[in-house]
Amino acid sequence: MKKRQVSDRIRVKRIPERGIYGREDINKIFDETFLCHISFVMDGQPFIIPTAFGRKEDVIYIHGSSKSRMLLHLESGADLALAVTHVDGLVLAKSLFHHSMNYRSVVLYGKACLVTDKNEKMEALKIISEQILKGRWNEARLPNEIELKATTVLKIQIDEASAKVRTGPPGDDKKDLDLEVWSGILPMYVGFGEPIKDSSSSIDELPQSILKKMDNG
């Protein structure tokens, strides 16, 4: 298999042993969420915008209103940086200085391009929808022509990406180890709550997409 280049801008310099560049590891971090933050510079002003995404193979798809300033700007070929973050736990040390977090995060640099092919556009919307709630695509009405026209879909190649991962206990200084302060990890999870049926919904039975999500956490 071809070895991927690690460019200088993605090489993790601060605590380099936490840097991970393998595509499979990076994909796993992408696939456990559907929320990313995308930054770009317009007229010298840096912006950052949270947005949903879906991944298939080496491509990240994002979508939104065809009037979205971010999407219009990215469509024109602007450079972007994209980040996803999972916090797995608070790392509570004996000293405040050594408090930390266990996390998995990815930073991706690149450019986006417009998805113009109708089939790919529909497929991309399905990928995003399925990444957010698997199965929902087959339960709800599909986008119609007007809705498709009002929606822009962009794709971003996953070429230049790095992950950074922290795991494990606090790293207290030796001289602090005997201090009478609770230290350890407070694990953190993201979860869904009890579904709240809309007043317009006549169906009491929960759809498969929600049942599966509640089963798998």
By CB under 6 A, name the binding residues for ligand FAD: 9-10, 12-14, 85, 87, 101, 103, 105-107, 162-164
Least distance in angstroms from the C-beta of 30 to ligand FAD: 12
d(CA 86, CA 166): 11
Least distance in angstroms from the C-beta of 200 to ligand FAD: 38
Query: Which residue, judged by CB position, is nearest to ligand FAD in the bound state?
Result: 164
Least distance in angstroms from the C-beta of 178 to ligand FAD: 27
**Residue among 52 and 87 whose Cβ is closer to ligand FAD:** 87
**Residue among 106 and 124 whose Cβ is closer to ligand FAD:** 106
Q: Which residue has the tokens 């510079």?
A: 41
**Residue among 56 and 166 whose Cβ is closer to ligand FAD:** 166
CA distances from 110 to 39, 77, 79 (A): 11, 9, 6
d(CA 4, CA 159): 9
Least distance in angstroms from the C-beta of 156 to ligand FAD: 15
d(CA 27, CA 3): 16
Least distance in angstroms from the C-beta of 15 to ligand FAD: 7
**Residue among 187 and 195 whose Cβ is closer to ligand FAD:** 187
**Residue among 96 and 177 whose Cβ is closer to ligand FAD:** 96
3-class SS of residue 192? coil
- CA atoms within 13 Å, Cβ hemisphere of 32: 18
Q: 10: closest CA among 111, 107, 81? A: 107
Name the β-bridge partners of 92.
184
